[in-house]
């Protein structure tokens, strides 16, 4: 057991570059948690093995994105001196843990997992669901428990995974004795950050829709995307009253703007409430609001861009961060696996009592 230690484990599938939705929903919080000094250990995992559960025929895509995601992590301020960044597939202990946890979960319980359900629909798997994909919530429980994580900062869509993990922990501990640590989910505290929409106003940000703002995007590309964002389609003339609901520009302002931004870029308004009020009353044009959002986004993204440029010049250094992080993660997971096998009484060759018991039994 981890005692009073506080440990973070979280991660992302390397299926593409990370975007501002990842940033608002999770990455920004991770950096704050990292810098709070409250955690003894922080593990950030590039979940390539999980990514392969629904990308079995696209290994090159996953391989491509390992370095991309590592650069995204480092560029937002994840500091390898404070956080261990590692690659999931290197930690073979995770597959072993998953195999044992599979005995504690029913098929019907997996079928009820709402995130898995939604993903099955989205990918049109229907009757041809890969078994590995179907069981990924179990492997996610292995990821979390292997590091004795107490805290898992993730987006809202991961809540069912955490629930499933906690059930596995309870079940394991009640069957085999107190062994695993029960994790807590940590959701973003800002409502707008929970689910940032795409720039076209669609709920889902996706590469194929071209509606994401990537962390690695240039200043000019970010500006273009902001200036063409979806707003209120009925707000045609400046004097028309505008709606805030479903207005992507305002959702992004909810997520990213701070009081200081007004003094700096839009001093006619004291804060976001005043700006919203004017927009609803009529007389405030979309272009002005978008220009303000662009300033806010550029302020947030420009240090990220600068850090990325530095790391891109030292790919060998980034590779070494991943390699050494993965070694440390493996040692950590191996310790948990030992405890698990001991609790399950399958540690025959490390537990001296096995031989003694058998000798005793057969000498009678």
Q: Which of 18, 154, 180, 181 binds ligand TRP (CB under 6 A)?
A: 154
Q: Give the 3-state secondary structure of residue 44.
A: strand
Residue 30 or 276: the one with the smaller Cβ distance to ligand TRP is: 30
How is 218-257 classified by DSSP, letter by letter?
-HHHHHHHHHT----TT--STTS----TT-HHHHHHHHH-
**C-alpha dihedral sign at 185, 189, 194, 199:** negative
Minimum CB separation of residue 81 from ligand TRP in Å reads 22
Residue 156 or 351: the one with the smaller Cβ distance to ligand TRP is: 156
- Chain residues 105-124 in contact with ligand TRP, contact rule CB under 6 A: none
Q: Which of 55, 83, 113, 140 binds ligand TRP (CB under 6 A)?
A: 140
9 binds ligand TRP (CB under 6 A): yes
Minimum CB separation of residue 198 from ligand TRP in Å reads 17
Residue 91 or 297: the one with the smaller Cβ distance to ligand TRP is: 91
Minimum CB separation of residue 9 from ligand TRP in Å reads 6
**CB count, 10 Å around CB of 262?**
19
Minimum CB separation of residue 147 from ligand TRP in Å reads 9
Residue 74 or 146: the one with the smaller Cβ distance to ligand TRP is: 146
Torsion of CA 14, 16, 17, 19, to 10 degrees: -100
Q: Which of 50, 75, 84, 199 binds ligand TRP (CB under 6 A)?
A: 50
Minimum CB separation of residue 140 from ligand TRP in Å reads 4
| Three-state SS sequence of 98-167 | HHHHHHHCCHHHHHCCHHHHHHHHHCCCCCCCCHHHHCHHHHHHHHHHHCCCCEEECCHHHHHHHHHHHH
144 binds ligand TRP (CB under 6 A): yes
- CA-to-CA distance for 190 and 249, rounded, in angstroms? 16
The two beta strands, 41-46 and 7-12, are: parallel
15 binds ligand TRP (CB under 6 A): no
Applying CB under 6 A, the residues found at the interface with ligand TRP are 9-13, 47, 50, 140, 143-144, 152, 154, 158
């Amino acid at each position: 057991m981890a005692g009073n230690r506080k440990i973070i484990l979280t991660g992302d599938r390397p299926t593409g570059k990370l975007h501002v939705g990842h940033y608002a929903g999770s990455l920004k919080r991770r950096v704050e948690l990292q810098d709070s000094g409250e955690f003894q250990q922080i593990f950030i995992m590039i979940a390539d093995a999980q990514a392969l559960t629904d990308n079995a025929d696209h290994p090159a895509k996953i391989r491509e994105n390992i370095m991309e995601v590592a650069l995204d992590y480092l560029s937002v301020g994840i500091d390898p001196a404070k956080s261990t960044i590692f690659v999931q597939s290197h930690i073979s202990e995770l597959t072993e843990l998953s195999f044992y946890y599979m005995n504690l979960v029913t098929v019907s319980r997996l079928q009820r997992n709402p995130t898995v359900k939604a993903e099955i629909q989205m990918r049109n798997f229907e009757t041809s669901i890969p078994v590995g994909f179907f069981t990924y919530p179990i492997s996610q429980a292995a990821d979390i428990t292997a590091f004795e994580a107490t805290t898992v900062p993730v987006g809202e869509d991961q809540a069912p995974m955490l629930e499933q993990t906690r059930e596995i922990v309870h079940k394991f501990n009640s069957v085999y004795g107190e062994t695993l640590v029960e994790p807590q989910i940590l959701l973003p505290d800002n409502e707008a950050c929970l689910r940032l929409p795409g720039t076209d106003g669609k709920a889902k940000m996706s590469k194929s829709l071209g509606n994401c703002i990537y962390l690695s995007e240039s200043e000019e590309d970010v500006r273009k995307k902001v200036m063409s964002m979806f707003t209120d389609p009925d707000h045609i003339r400046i004097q028309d009253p505008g709606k805030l609901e479903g207005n992507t520009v305002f959702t992004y302002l909810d997520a990213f703007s701070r009081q200081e931004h007004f003094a700096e870029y839009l001093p006619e308004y004291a804060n976001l409430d005043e700006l919203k009020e004017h927009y609803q009353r009529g007389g405030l044009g979309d272009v002005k609001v978008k220009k303000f959002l662009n300033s806010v986004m550029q302020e947030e993204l420009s240090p990220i861009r600068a850090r990325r440029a530095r790391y891109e010049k030292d790919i060998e250094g980034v590779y070494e961060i991943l390699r050494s992080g993965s070694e440390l993660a493996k040692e950590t997971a191996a310790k948990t696996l030992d405890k698990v096998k001991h609790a399950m009484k399958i540690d025959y060759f490390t537990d001296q009592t096995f031989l003694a018991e058998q000798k005793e039994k057969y000498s009678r």
